[in-house]
């Protein structure tokens, strides 16, 4: 069943209004790093270094911040093991898995259409 934006707004009138928690969560989930980290975790549990490699270009500080935010939002689970050196694993929670079932089609759409939407000159400018 397809739901329209008007139907969503009708059922939840304050949704996406300034100051509404929905805007905050949407910002966390749809940020560039949020999408990439969640997409990586949709393939399974990852350690810090694996995430850092898979999410190319992310700084350690930004990865830490993104993981902390997504963990606080209840989308990512952080499991620490008492070993030397420390061993920490990240995985999606049931809520995170539910989100990614809905978001992966968007990620797929972007992958399918990005090359045709951005010309080479624009892409070269972005990479610099």
Span 80-99, pLDDT tens digits: 999 888 899 999 999 999 99
What does the alpha-carbon distance between residue 76 and residue 80 come to, in Å, rounded to a whole number?
A: 13
Encode pLDDT of 31-69 as tens digits: 999 999 999 999 999 999 999 999 999 999 999 999 999
Residue whose structure tokens are 């898979």: 54
Which two tokens mark 43?
A: 């393939």
CA atoms within 13 A on the CB side of 48: 15
Q: Note whether 10 and 53 are within 8 A (CB).
A: no
Whole-model pTM: value is 0.84
127/18: higher pLDDT: 18
The domains found in the chain, sorted by start residue, are 1-30 (no CATH), 32-127 (1.10.10.10)
CA distance to 47, 80, 90, per residue, from 87 (Å): 8, 6, 10
CB neighbourhood size of 73 (10 A): 18
Spell out the residues 6+ positions from residue 118 whose beta carbon is closer than 8 angstroms to its own: 126
Categorize the per-residue pLDDT at 21 as very low, low, confident or very high, splitting at 50, 70 and 90: confident
Q: Whole-angstrom Cα distance, residue 128 to residue 124? A: 6
Neighbouring CB atoms inside 10 A of 74's CB total 13
pLDDT at 3 over 90: no
């Amino acid at each position: 069943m397809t739901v329209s934006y008007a139907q969503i707004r009708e059922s939840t009138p304050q949704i996406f209004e300034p100051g509404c928690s929905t805007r905050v969560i949407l910002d966390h989930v749809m940020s560039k790093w949020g999408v990439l980290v969640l997409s990586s975790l949709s393939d399974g549990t990852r350690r810090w270094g694996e995430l850092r490699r898979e999410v190319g270009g992310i700084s350690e500080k930004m990865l830490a911040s993104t993981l902390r935010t997504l963990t606080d939002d209840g989308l990512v689970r952080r499991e620490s093991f008492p070993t030397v050196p420390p061993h920490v694993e990240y995985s999606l929670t049931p809520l995170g898995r539910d989100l990614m079932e809905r978001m992966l089609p968007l990620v797929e759409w972007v992958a399918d259409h990005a090359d045709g939407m951005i010309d080479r000159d624009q892409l070269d400018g972005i990479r610099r």
